[in-house]
């Protein structure tokens, strides 16, 4: 166990949103736990687990509702966890979505390990705390399972219910709140592990409106985010590399602005431009490199439409993407794809 794990800014914002629904002042909460609002404006920003634990304490004190973590799945959109949600929304079945949830768990929260396993005709989704910074396991595990339950229902459009939920902490004073949120599941406290148990038949349930092409795009995007999150290079990366990584994380339907990238790197725009010049680059060059590399990668996959690729790369219109790609390569996206697929056939 370590104490340097983080939570995504998106997940932190969901807690703030739930707190606001119960009358709390989100700005006061951020000040109380020492979190800069600028970090929360970055979709791929990270907040320490320590700050999240402090936030739960402040939220409950401010609202007077000890069961607020359990209400999280009811108060917010359970499919608003950024790229992780996008991947799950386009999986073919609930079982595949849960598999991806387990694989990409760290993108949302590094302090909890989520693992699924079949036990006979039952599916066990177990949650294990991996961070010493988590001092309120009931808040953490209760909110996670509340979110999971709501997400499974939203993904399938069906009342997915657990048969049993075991918690690896003593029975809380607000046990009735657990019974209300997770009914009709049988609840067990002081268990050896925290685990949600489903009838395995639920795993074959189709996901509503899943798009295989978008699934592949978002899965690839999530994989890159996870790789970056787990990269712990001893030697600091060159600024140009860090800028390209920041551009990659911000490519979500619109062109990343230089100011947004500078903010994500905690630098001023002018300072960033000067340091890039020292390395022999301009921001536009790096943006073009990232877009070019991703475009080439996506065009080699036959199931990706060029419209989807244009959107993912932040182009305002597919026609702009076509013109830009031809400028880069001398070929249209369609012609490039045809040639690339012919070579791999």
Per-residue tens of pLDDT for the chain, all 345 residues? 334 688 888 889 999 999 999 999 999 999 999 998 878 877 667 899 999 999 999 999 999 999 999 999 999 877 776 778 888 999 999 999 999 999 988 888 888 999 999 999 999 999 999 999 999 999 999 999 999 999 999 999 999 999 999 999 999 999 999 999 999 999 999 999 999 999 999 999 999 988 877 777 778 777 777 776 666 434 456 788 888 878 887 776 678 899 989 888 888 999 999 999 998 999 999 999 888 888 888 887 766 678 878 888 888 888 899 999 999 989 898 888 888 777 655
| DSSP characters over 241-310 | HHHHHHHHHH-SSSPPPHHHHHHHTT--HHHHHHHHHHHT--HHHHHHHHHHHHHHHHHTSTT--HHHHH
The pLDDT, as a whole number, for residue 237 is 60
For the chain, give every domain's residue range.
6-204, 233-344
Using an 8 Å Cβ cutoff, are 177 and 67 in contact? yes
Architecture per CATH, 6-204: Alpha-Beta Complex (3.90)
Structure tokens at 31: 């000040």
The pLDDT, as a whole number, for residue 230 is 66
List all residues 6 or more positions away from 51 whose beta carbon is below 8 Å from its beta carbon: 12, 33, 34, 35
152's enclosing H/E stretch is: helix 137-156
List all residues 6 or more positions away from 236 whose beta carbon is below 8 Å from its beta carbon: none
- Could you tell me which of 210, 254, 246 has the C-alpha nearest to residue 228? 246
The pLDDT, as a whole number, for residue 234 is 40
The pLDDT, as a whole number, for residue 2 is 39
Q: CA separation (Å) from 39 to 48, 106, 260, 263, 334?
A: 11, 18, 11, 9, 39
DSSP 332: -
188's enclosing H/E stretch is: strand 186-188
The CATH homologous superfamily of the domain defined by 233-344: Homeodomain-like (1.10.10.60)
The pLDDT, as a whole number, for residue 235 is 44
């Amino acid at each position: 166990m370590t104490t340097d794990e983080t939570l995504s800014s998106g997940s932190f914002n969901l807690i703030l949103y739930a707190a606001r629904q119960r009358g709390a002042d989100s700005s006061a909460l951020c000040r109380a736990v020492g979190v800069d609002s600028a970090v929360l404006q970055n979709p791929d920003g990270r907040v320490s687990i320590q700050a999240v634990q402090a936030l739960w304490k402040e939220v409950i004190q401010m609202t007077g509702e000890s069961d607020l973590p359990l209400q999280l799945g009811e108060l917010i959109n359970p499919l608003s966890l950024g790229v992780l949600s996008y991947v799950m929304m386009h999986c073919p079945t609930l079982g595949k979505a849960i598999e991806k949830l387990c694989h990409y768990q760290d993108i949302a929260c590094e302090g909890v390990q989520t693992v699924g396993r079949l036990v006979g005709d039952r599916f066990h989704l177990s949650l294990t705390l991996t961070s010493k910074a988590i001092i309120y396991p009931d808040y953490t595990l209760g909110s996670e399972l509340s979110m999971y339950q709501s997400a499974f229902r939203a993904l399938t459009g069906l009342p997915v219910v657990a048969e049993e939920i075991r918690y690896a902490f003593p029975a809380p004073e607000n046990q009735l709140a657990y019974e209300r949120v997770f009914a009709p599941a049988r609840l067990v406290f002081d268990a050896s592990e925290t685990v949600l148990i489903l009838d395995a038949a639920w795993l074959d349930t189709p996901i509503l409106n899943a798009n295989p092409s978008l699934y592949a795009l978002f899965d690839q995007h999530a994989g890159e985010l996870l790789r970056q999150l787990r990269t712990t290079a001893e030697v600091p990366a060159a600024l140009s590399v860090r800028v390209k990584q920041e551009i990659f994380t911000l490519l979500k339907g619109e062109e990343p602005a230089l100011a947004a990238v500078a903010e994500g790197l905690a630098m001023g725009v002018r300072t960033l431009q000067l340091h890039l010049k020292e390395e022999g680059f301009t921001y536009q060059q790096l943006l073009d490199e990232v877009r070019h590399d991703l475009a080439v990668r996506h065009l080699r996959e036959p199931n990706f439409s060029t419209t989807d690729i244009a959107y993912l790369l932040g182009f305002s219109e597919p026609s702009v993407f076509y013109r830009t790609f031809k400028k880069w390569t001398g070929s249209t996206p369609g012609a490039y794809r045809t040639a690339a697929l012919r070579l791999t056939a």
